Amino acid sequence: MIFENLSNKLYKIFYKIKEKGRLTSENINDTLRQVRIALLEADVALVVVQKFIQEIKKISLDKKINNYLTPGQEFIKIVQKELIKIIGSKNNNLNFCSGRSVIFLIGLQGSGKTTTTGKLAKYLKEKNKKKVLTVSSDVYRPAAQKQLELVSKSANVDCFLSENLYKTPYEIVKSAMNKSSLYDVLLIDTAGFSHTNKKMIKEIQLLQSISSPSETLFIVDSMMGQDSINSIKTFNEKFSLTGVILTKLDGDSRGGIALSIKYITGKPIKFIGTGEKIDTLEIFSPEKLSKKILGMENIFSIINDVEIKINKYKKEKIKYKKNKKFDLTDFLLHLNQVKKIGGINKIVNQFSIMSNISPKINNKICVKMEAIINSMTVKERINPNIIKRSRKKRIAHGSGTTVQDVNNLLKQFNEMDRLFKQIKNNGLINTMKKIKNLIPFKFKKN
């Protein structure tokens, strides 16, 4: 996968610094030197790397440290913030006109324009509820128009067919413009060409002029190397680009161009292609890509899921408070949150710090634990210390489990009670390594 090598390198680099108790000029410089090498090896443009490193270095030493993070962890946050600035600080939506909108797609040969046109058509139809018409002005590549017809059919949108009535790109686009008055969006798929082909540049400029597009999107193959920089600059100068669509992000290239293009063109990345299927076009998220590059995508996504779900279900109920003792009712709520964010397996598999934990955890254990707690009285939930042998037998019988299962649940409850105290005192990040004690391995499988 794209960025895999870069992500692995950066993860190793940041793993070394994240537990540093103090950020010094020496360890910052050493870390940034390694980051610089990793980025250059990933084919990121030199000017982009220099700017990136310079900004991180400038703010790192004077950064005020969050009480819940180590200086090393704060440094990683700085890196992510600056990376987002490089690749694009916000999501950018498409611009539409009040009537029919025209979206003009241009790019080098083989960049994936025609396929992307079909993907974008499907996206606009399904996500934006637009009535879409596509047209290909490519009269040079054999079967180019036929290909667009097929991908348009896959997207379940209409495609304007010249049927040999219109011989030139100008005639085709002009006719499609007239036909598209009953549509919300006209997507124009142009012929691919080199930035040195002056004849094609003039032709595409003419088509852009007569169609007056609300968006001129440059389709970029993310597998392109640094030799494409001049092409990108020329396209940006000649066609007044409004945005970029990155294709083939599911490939195995180094991906440096994907990190360079926003800085080079000053134009936002609007969409990314993540596969060959017609529905593999996504709105570009700078934050999501930055986490992927830094090797932290899974960790942040899980934390985000937890925060959203727990906020929704009043996370205050499962916090250990001075004025309220953590009890089995709170523990039951915690189990429900685990189920709602995807279960124990999802959490264990996503956190690299828990890679030593067996992935074969039966998620039905949560159901068993829930049954045990539901078989307790209110008094027993509030004060688990009163649950002695006779009560355990009754609870086990009522929940269809064993006394050993009840004992194991009480043990897990005590572990979680201690963990919440540690989270309260030390913060979430510094306590994560102890989460393995919460995984109930010792329950017998039925």
Residues 80 and 139 occupy one common structural domain: no
Statement to judge: residues 345 and 374 lie in one domain: yes
Do residue 328 and residue 408 come from a single domain? yes
Pick from 296, 195, 188, 279: which is nearest to 237 by CA?
A: 195
- Tell me the two tokens of residue 408: 């194991």
Range of the domain at 10: 4-87
Instruction: Give the residue with greater pLDDT, 362 vs 227.
Output: 227
pLDDT of residue 296: 63
Q: What is the mean pLDDT of residues 324-339?
A: 74
Q: Is residue 195 part of a domain?
A: yes
Would you place residue 3 in the very low, low, confident or very high pLDDT band (cuts 50, 70, 90)?
confident
Asked if residue 72 belongs to a domain, the reply is yes
Q: Which percentage of the chain shows pLDDT scores above 90?
A: 40
Q: Where residue 356 falls among pLDDT bands split at 50, 70, 90?
A: very low
Q: Are residues 131 and 10 in the same domain?
A: no
Give the per-residue pLDDT at 317. Answer: 47
Total number of domains in the chain: 3
User: Residue 400 and residue 384: Cα distance in Å, rounded?
Assistant: 19
Task: Please tell me the distance from the alpha carbon of residue 251 to that of residue 429, in angstroms, as a whole number.
Answer: 33
DSSP label of 102: E
Residue 306's domain is classified under what CATH number? 1.10.260.30
The better pLDDT of the pair 63, 145 is held by 145
* pLDDT for the residue numbered 439: 45
Indicate left, alpha or beta for 343 from its phi (over 0: left) and psi (-120 to 50: alpha).
Answer: left
Both tokens assigned to 131: 């009535």
- pLDDT tens, 258-291? 888 888 888 899 999 988 899 999 999 888 888 8
Query: What CATH number is given to the structural domain containing 155?
Result: 3.40.50.300
> Considering only CA atoms, which of 82, 75, 104, 58 is closest in space to residue 14?
75
Q: Are residues 289 and 301 in the same domain?
A: no
The Cα-based distances of 54 to 13, 22, 286, 289 in angstroms read 18, 20, 20, 21
**Identity at 150, one-letter amino acid code:** L
- The tens digit of pLDDT for each residue in 388-438 reads 999 999 999 988 899 999 999 998 888 877 776 766 565 544 555 455 444
Note whether 231 and 351 are same-domain residues: no
- Bigger pLDDT: 318 vs 371: 371
Q: Does 45 fall in a domain?
A: yes
pLDDT of residue 440: 44
210 shares a domain with 62: no
Say if residue 378 is exposed, middle or buried (CB neighbours under 10 Å; 0-12, 13-18, 19+). exposed
The listed range with the strongest mean pLDDT (199-203, 223-227, 344-348, 352-356) is 199-203
Is 421 contained in some domain?
yes
Which of the listed residues 278, 293, 308 is the one where a domain comes to its end?
A: 293
What distance in Å separates the CA atoms of residue 21 and residue 33, rounded to the nearest whole number?
Answer: 20
Residue 164 burial (10 A CB sphere; 0-12, 13-18, 19+) = exposed
Query: Which one of 260, 293, 326 terminates a domain?
Result: 293
Per-residue confidence at 312, pLDDT binned at 50, 70, 90? low
Residues 399 and 424 in one domain: yes
* Structure token pair of residue 347: 């959490």
* Residue 121 belongs to some domain of the structure: yes
DSSP 241-278: --EEEEE-TTS-S--HHHHHHHHHH---EEEEE-SSST
Residue at 92 is within a domain: no
Q: Are residues 369 and 419 in the same domain?
A: yes
Within a domain: residue 118? Answer: yes
- Last-in-domain residue among 270, 293, 316: 293
Residue 331 has pLDDT above 70, yes or no: yes
Tokens 């929940």 found at: 399
- Please say if the pLDDT value at position 208 is more than 70: yes
Residue type at position 132: V
Report the DSSP pairing between strands 158-159 and 215-221.
unpaired
Lookup result for tokens 């100068």 = 237
Verify that 306 and 390 share a domain, yes or no: yes
Helices 144-154 and 113-127, axial angle in degrees (round to 10): 30
- Better-predicted residue by pLDDT, 367 or 91: 367
Q: Output the pTM of the full model.
A: 0.66
Q: Alpha helices, DSSP H only, in 155-273?
A: 169-179, 198-211, 229-239, 256-265
Q: 136-171 pLDDT, tens per residue?
A: 999 998 889 999 999 999 999 999 987 667 789 999
178 and 207 share one domain: yes
Domain membership of residue 95 (yes or no) is no
For residue 62, give the 3-state DSSP assignment: coil
Mean pLDDT of the chain: 80
The residue that leads in pLDDT, 106 or 290, is: 106
Which of these ranges, 22-36, 163-177, 354-368, has the smallest mean pLDDT? Answer: 354-368
Q: Give the CATH number, domain containing residue 15.
A: 1.20.120.140
Same domain, 105 and 249: yes
